[in-house]
Chain A
Amino acid sequence: MMELDFSVVLSAEFRSWLIGGLVLSLQLTFITLLLALPLGIAVALMRLSSLAALRWLGFAFVEGIRNIPLLVHMLFWYFGATALLPEAARAWLYEHNAESVCAVIALTFYTAAYMAEDVRSGIRTIPATQTEAARALGLGAAETWRRIVLPQALRASVPPLVSQTVSLWKNTSIATVIGAAELMYQAQRVETASFRGVETFAVATLAYLSVSLIITALSIAYQRRYPVRPA
């Protein structure tokens, strides 16, 4: 069994690389979450709309995105979509973190597709009797949605959405293929420079596990404060 030496990996220079990577991973996660959640809710509503065209559009969005690996999404946005941009826009993009921008775009669409399904299943757990009761009281369709169904549905969707957030956090690691300098990228960089593979990846694994745990712990606290009260 080879000797483990963590001091090399945790030395000042390598440590700053890893921390920089961790920070970028967290930023990617946070920004994607802010964008993907509203998009996911919108797509979920589309799938439940009375207009067949909207329903089909929502279905196409979800199935089209979910059946393509995240890696391919990343490659497409970074190598494919950027080639379609006019010269000036492309130059500007490469000046301003093209890798992170493309990673966020790919992650947003991918995560939104999964979150749409979580929200949709949350909405479906609300029995039709809730809508009936609201309409019987004279509430309009939009108001019923907004005041009765959606608040309950969103609260019911929290557990799967949290699990999706943890998946998002882990998925940021794939941004390494397009050169985003997040945690996985930096871990590879440190490994190449220090030849200490086991220690480097042990530290990185610990970082991933810790953040996953924190997200899950926060959600448990949230659910205790705002419990799901079934109808």
Chain B
Amino acid sequence: MIDLLQNYWLYFLLGQYPEGPLGGLTLTILLSVSALLLASPVGLLLGLARVSQHRALRWPVTALIFVVRGSPLLMVIFWAYFFLPSVTGQQTDQFPTMLIALAIFNGAYLAEIVRAGIQALPRGQMESARALGLSYTTAMRRVILPQALRNSLPSLVNQLVTTIKETSLGYIIGLAEVSFIASQINIQVLTMPVQVYGVLALTYFVLCFGLSRIAYALERRLARRPISSGAPV
């Protein structure tokens, strides 16, 4: 077991870098963070469209979110795999494919989180902002969204945890993230599958459990300083 760790820890962490593209745990973390960063504006825009007054905006977006959330992530990845080359005109690498697929998939989930956050605010907030003469956009930007997004912060951290787990599906299209690397190690070593996959499981656990504890602490802190809007209803 010690030999296993000693021989392969660098490969596990970095993949083939520097003799090849970046891989392993570093790639997993890089992919997760990038995907969530990309998914956030997507989720925000889709969420705003979901609460919009204009039907022409609301209906197509609702349909899109329904289809994306109703499909397995693996399906979305395959769609990206097959569609992206025809859109970009060239064969797309695994990393951009996963990135786009994860951005769209998580964007759809974030859209629902944003929508729920906005609709949880009392109606009086938007009413008083509009009564002052603020435009819809300004009211959203300065009054509604700051409150809605602050309340959604724990959900965002949980979404990062989910994204980290989702990157494991890059295995299926041959992306050298940490699960794929672990399998490569297993193929080379052959006699220690339990140890190899055990270490892989432990790695995910430490990363994800740690982050979810942070989300939990955030939620507790937010609950202690409640945002109370005006008189008790």
Contacts and interface: CB of A to CB of B under 8 A. Distances in A.
Query: Do A and B come together as binding partners?
Result: yes
B141 to A, nearest CB: 32
A76 B202 CA distance: 12
A198 B204 CA distance: 34
A176 B172 contact: yes
B183 A174 contact: no
B212 interface: yes
Interface in A50-84: 63-64, 66-73, 75-76, 79-81, 83-84
| Interface magnitude class on chain B | 35 or more
B27 to A, nearest CB: 15
A184 B74 CA distance: 8
B77 to A, nearest CB: 10
B197 A71 contact: no
A64 B204 contact: no
Given A79-B186, A79-B197, A204 B209 contact: no
A72 B70 contact: no
27 contacts: A67-B207, A67-B208, A68-B165, A68-B204, A69-B166, A70-B168, A71-B169, A71-B171, A71-B179, A72-B168, A72-B204, A75-B183, A75-B197, A79-B186, A80-B193, A83-B193, A84-B194, A170-B72, A170-B73, A174-B72, A174-B169, A176-B172, A184-B74, A198-B83, A204-B75, A205-B79, A209-B67
Given A67-B204, A72-B168, A201-B79, 14 more contacts: A67-B205, A68-B165, A69-B204, A72-B179, A73-B201, A75-B182, A76-B194, A76-B201, A80-B194, A173-B74, A177-B172, A197-B82, A205-B79, A208-B70
Closest 4 CB pairs of A and B: A67-B208, A69-B165, A69-B168, A173-B72
